[in-house]
Amino acid sequence: NNVFIRLPRNSDMAWNRYVAPFNYGLWLAVAIAACNLSVCLALTACGHERNQGLTLPAAFFYIQACFCQQGQTHRSR
């Protein structure tokens, strides 16, 4: 008896490892939530004098950083 194992293409496996645990609907909800939170952060920062220079791209960057740091045990000082 022979066993044939087909190796998957590298391009198919690289991104699938990161997004495979959740389905498309959940990833879409996370992306929409990140965009909505970015807009809310930019709008609320406009009302405060100390954050007058906060732009929408900067707010989007801050929200993405918050999502990426979820689950971290080390807190920055």
Percent of the chain whose pLDDT exceeds 90: 4
Residue 3 domain-assigned?
A: no
Residue 8 inside a domain? The answer is no
Indicate the average pLDDT of the chain: 76
Q: Is the pTM of this model over 0.95?
A: no
Name the domain count of the chain: 1
- Per residue in 17-48, pLDDT (tens digit) is 676 778 889 889 988 998 898 888 888 877 76
Q: Is residue 32 part of a domain?
A: yes
Q: Is 49 within a domain?
A: yes
DSSP string, 4-73: --PPPPHHHHHHHHHHTTS-HHHHHHHHHHHHHHHHHHHHHHHTSGGGTT--HHHHHHHHHHHHHTTT--
Residue 75: pLDDT over 70: no
CA torsion through residues 45, 47, 50, 54, sign: positive
14 within a domain of the structure (yes/no): no
Residue 15, in any domain of the structure: no
